[in-house]
Each structure stands twice: as structure tokens, then as C-alpha cells.
């Protein structure tokens, strides 16, 4: 009996030690948890990892609770925050190549993008980008969505002249295209866009998919919603973890985080694909939104202007050129497959 009690006590001590050894990580998200698809992705990742791991636990924080959205990379790198769920396009002002791992104008759709990231050179270059720029973070692909809409406007855009002089919220590399076409762009976090529209600080905006934009209420001020999403044919999301925090984790915890992120890519993509059409119908039938398609002429101008932009960026930054060349080479190979296997839209 005495030996049994000693063994039981030792077992309880081991269990207690295991429980106390679980790492708890704070995670700031770039997207509020009440946003569908974007916000859901961060919440879902936390739910996934916390349900499968006894080694590590994540705690989700909305934008601004720990740090503002656009300060998350610095905060994770310097260790003031353990981790962040974000998109690397938010760091374009800090790292020229960052948006190439987020969304590429006239670039890869979700399946093609994932192929480059997960089975070609994308993920390794993504991490190298942060290492080379001096950021102490580990980057893990953790979500992806299909195309976004390309803008909400107060007035119909009948020609490129109608764009000139507009102040517009715009994301990533597409913003540089719009700037060349006479649009003044600014990068605002999701929660700051509606107030900026309301007070007239911006005239137009793009942000995300119809269901997400509906939650933010853009249709209350801007009635013309333009498609297709040439500037973001797909958008990749990342989990960045402070490098010291990551290296302190057991290997099993690191693997669990990667597995949870891989699963999150699947549900993130599926939620966006499954739930946006209803928001488009509601916008038209109940919110007075007019859905518009860019003319072939305007789309071709966007494309040719993007080609100018990417040549300039590649000439200015060696690492940008290296990533762009790698992605371009991958896409040339991918086209052999995609142009033969898929039905034409």
C-alpha cells in the first residue's frame, strides 16, 4: 500500500510538472475576431492548436489590445509580443519584398501560390527575408483566401481619368499601381477604414471579400463595388513567432503549431469560397450596391502598369528581384500544367 501511494504521488507530481511546463503564448491578430474569414482565421488557429497540444497554448488578442496592427512585426521581433497572426503585406514599407509573400497583382491564385510556398522555394525565401532584414521571427504560412474585390467607390469609374486625384485606402503592391495612375493611397487597418470614409479623409477603399467588407459597412457610404480582384488574386497569411520563444519550444510543440497552421489554410480558404456569394446577393438586393466589372481596357492598363512597377522594384532591391525571379520561374512551369488541365473560365 505504501509503495502504491508513493507511486501515485510521483505520478501526480509528473502530471503537475507537465501542466506547469505548458508554454502560454500571447498572439496579437491583425484582424478583429468579429470579422468573418479574416478574423475567423486567427481565432480558428488558436482553437486548433489549443485543442491538439498539451505543450503550448495560444491566447488571442484583437488589434490594438497589445499593439496596433502595423506595429506587430516589430513587437514580435523585439519580444514584447510572443506572436502575431498577420499578412506580410503590412510590412511592405519596411521590407520591399514582403508583399510578394502576401498578394501579387495579376499573380498566382490560391492553389498556385500554395504550391510555390509549400513545395517550391517560397517558404524558405519568406523566412530568409525576415532573417536578412534583421527581424528575429519565425514565419509560418497559416492561411490563404481567394481573390478580393478591387474597390469601393462613391461614383462610377468610367475611365482612368475618373481615378485621378482620388484618395484611396489600398493594400500592398497594388497600391503602387494605383499611385502611378494618379491615385493617392494610404494603408489603413480594417477598423480605421469606415471612419476615414465617413469623415472624407479617403474617397474610396479596397479591403477584402464581400462578406468581410459588408461587416465593415462600406456599402453605407460607397455604392459601386468593382471586380475582379486583380491586385489580390489570392492573399496569404502568416503566423510569426519571436525566434527566442520559438527555439524555447519543444520540437513536438513546434510541429503541432505547423500542423495547426496547415489545417488553418484549408478552413480559411473554404470559408471564403463558401460564404461570399450570399453577401454579394444581399448587397445588391438590400443595400443598394451596384456590382461592376472593370473594362478590358482598364484591366489591361492595370496589368501594364504593374509590369512597370515590378521592373522598377526589382531594379531597386536585390532581394525583391531574387524572389520575383524565383516566383516567375515557378509560374512559367506551373502554366504548363494549369493551361492544359483546367477548363477555361
d(CA 18, CA 12): 10
Higher pLDDT: 183 or 11? It is: 183
DSSP three-state, residue 8? helix
Record the cell numbers describing residue 78, joined without a space: 523585439
Q: Is the pTM of this model over 0.85?
A: yes
pLDDT-above-90 percentage for the chain: 93
Mean pLDDT, the chain, integer: 94
Q: What is the pLDDT of residue 16?
A: 41
pLDDT (average), residues 251-267: 98
Q: Which helix (H) or strand (E) holds 59?
A: strand 56-61
Please give the backbone phi and psi of residue 229, each rounded to the nearest 5 degrees, phi first. -85, 70
Write the pLDDT tens digit of every residue in 152-174. 999 999 999 999 999 999 999 99
More confident residue, 15 or 199: 199
Helix (H) or strand (E) holding 270: helix 251-286
Q: Please, where in the chain does CATH 3.40.190.10 lie?
A: 151-230+288-341
Indicate whether 9 pLDDT > 80. no
User: Is 19's pLDDT higher than 70?
Assistant: no
The CATH architecture that domain 151-230+288-341 belongs to is 3-Layer(aba) Sandwich (3.40)
Report the SS3 class of residue 35: coil
Give whole-number Cα distances, 167 to 149, 208, 218, in Å: 18, 18, 15
Best CA proximity match to 224, nearest among 147, 302, 301, 294: 294
Q: What is the pLDDT of residue 345?
A: 80
d(CA 129, CA 327) in angstroms, rounded, equals 14
Distance CA 34, CA 205 (A): 20
Please determine, for residue 185, whether its predicted confidence score (pLDDT) is greater than 50: yes
CB neighbourhood size of 109 (10 A): 13
Cα–Cα distance measured from residue 152 to residue 24, given in angstroms and rounded to the nearest whole number: 40
Please report where in the chains the cell 475567423 appears, as a residue. Answer: 40
Residue 230's pLDDT band (cuts 50, 70, 90)? very high
Q: Which residue reads 489554410 in cell numbers?
A: 265
- Percent of the chain at pLDDT > 70 equals 94
Residues 6+ away with beta carbon under 8 Å from 293: 226, 227, 228
Give residue 10's pLDDT band: very low, low, confident or very high (50, 70, 90). Answer: very low
pLDDT band at 299 (very low <50, low <70, confident <90, very high): very high
Q: Among 13-17, 106-110, 229-233, name the one with the lowest average pLDDT.
A: 13-17
- CA atoms of 36 and 276, how far apart (whole Å): 10
| Sole residue written with cell 485621378 | 164
Q: Are 184 and 168 in contact (CB under 8 A)?
A: yes
Residue 311 scores a pLDDT above 90: yes
Burial group, residue 17, by CB count within 10 angstroms (0-12, 13-18, 19+): exposed
What pLDDT was estimated at residue 11?
46
What span, in angstroms and rounded, lies between the C-alpha atoms of 286 and 179?
33
DSSP conformation class of 5: H
Q: Is the pLDDT of residue 18 over 50?
A: no
Q: How far apart are CA 44 and CA 60, in angstroms?
A: 10
Cell (9 digits) for 1: 500500500
Per-residue pLDDT tens digits for 87-106 = 999 999 999 999 999 999 99
Place of cell 443598394: 288
Residue 187 confidence (pLDDT): 95
Q: What is the mean pLDDT of residues 140-155?
A: 97
Q: Which grid cell sits at 247?
A: 527555439
**Cα–Cα distance for residue pair 86/31, rounded to 1 Å:** 8
pLDDT score, position 1: 39
| 308 pLDDT above the threshold of 70 | yes
Measured between alpha carbons, how far is 192 from 200 in angstroms, rounded to an integer?
A: 12
Q: Where are the domain boundaries for CATH 3.40.190.170 in the chain?
A: 2-147+233-274
pLDDT greater than 70 at residue 191 = yes
For residue 22, the model assigns a pLDDT of 86
- Please tell me the predicted confidence (pLDDT) of residue 250: 97
Which option is the CATH number for 2-147+233-274: 3.40.50.2300, 3.40.190.170, 3.30.1370.60, 3.40.640.10? 3.40.190.170
Amino acid at each position: 500500500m505504501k509503495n502504491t501511494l508513493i507511486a501515485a504521488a510521483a505520478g501526480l507530481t509528473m502530471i503537475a510538472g507537465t501542466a506547469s511546463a505548458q508554454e502560454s503564448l500571447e498572439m496579437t491578430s491583425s484582424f478583429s475576431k468579429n470579422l468573418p474569414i479574416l478574423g475567423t482565421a486567427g481565432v480558428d488557429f488558436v482553437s486548433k492548436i489549443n485543442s491538439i497540444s498539451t505543450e503550448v497554448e495560444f491566447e488571442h488578442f484583437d488589434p490594438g489590445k497589445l499593439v496596433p496592427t502595423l506595429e506587430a512585426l516589430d513587437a514580435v521581433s523585439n519580444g514584447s509580443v510572443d506572436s502575431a497572426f498577420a499578412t506580410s503585406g503590412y510590412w511592405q514599407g519596411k521590407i520591399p519584398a514582403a508583399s510578394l509573400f502576401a498578394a501579387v497583382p495579376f499573380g498566382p491564385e490560391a492553389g498556385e501560390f500554395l504550391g510555390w510556398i509549400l513545395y517550391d522555394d517560397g517558404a524558405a525565401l519568406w523566412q530568409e527575408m525576415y532573417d536578412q532584414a534583421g527581424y528575429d521571427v519565425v514565419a509560418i504560412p497559416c492561411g490563404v483566401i481567394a481573390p478580393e474585390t478591387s474597390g469601393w467607390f462613391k461614383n462610377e469609374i468610367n475611365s482612368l481619368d475618373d481615378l485621378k486625384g482620388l484618395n484611396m485606402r489600398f493594400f500592398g503592391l497594388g497600391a503602387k499601381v494605383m499611385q502611378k495612375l494618379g491615385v493617392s493611397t494610404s494603408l489603413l487597418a480594417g477598423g480605421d477604414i469606415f471612419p476615414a470614409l465617413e469623415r472624407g479623409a479617403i474617397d474610396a477603399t479596397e479591403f477584402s471579400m464581400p462578406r468581410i467588407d459588408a461587416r465593415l459597412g462600406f456599402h453605407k457610404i460607397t455604392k459601386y463595388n468593382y471586380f475582379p480582384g486583380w491586385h489580390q488574386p489570392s492573399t496569404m497569411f502568416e503566423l510569426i513567432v519571436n525566434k527566442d520563444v520559438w527555439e524555447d519550444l519543444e520540437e513536438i510543440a513546434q510541429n503541432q503549431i505547423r500542423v495547426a497552421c496547415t489545417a488553418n489554410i484549408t478552413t480559411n480558404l473554404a470559408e471564403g469560397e463558401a460564404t461570399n456569394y450570399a453577401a454579394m446577393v444581399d448587397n445588391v438586393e438590400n443595400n443598394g450596391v451596384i456590382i461592376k466589372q472593370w473594362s478590358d481596357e482598364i484591366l489591361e492598363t492595370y496589368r501594364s502598369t504593374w509590369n512597370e512597377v515590378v521592373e522598377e522594384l526589382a531594379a531597386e532591391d536585390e532581394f525583391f528581384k531574387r524572389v520575383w525571379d524565383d516566383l516567375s520561374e515557378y509560374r512559367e512551369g506551373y502554366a504548363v500544367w494549369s493551361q492544359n488541365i483546367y477548363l477555361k473560365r
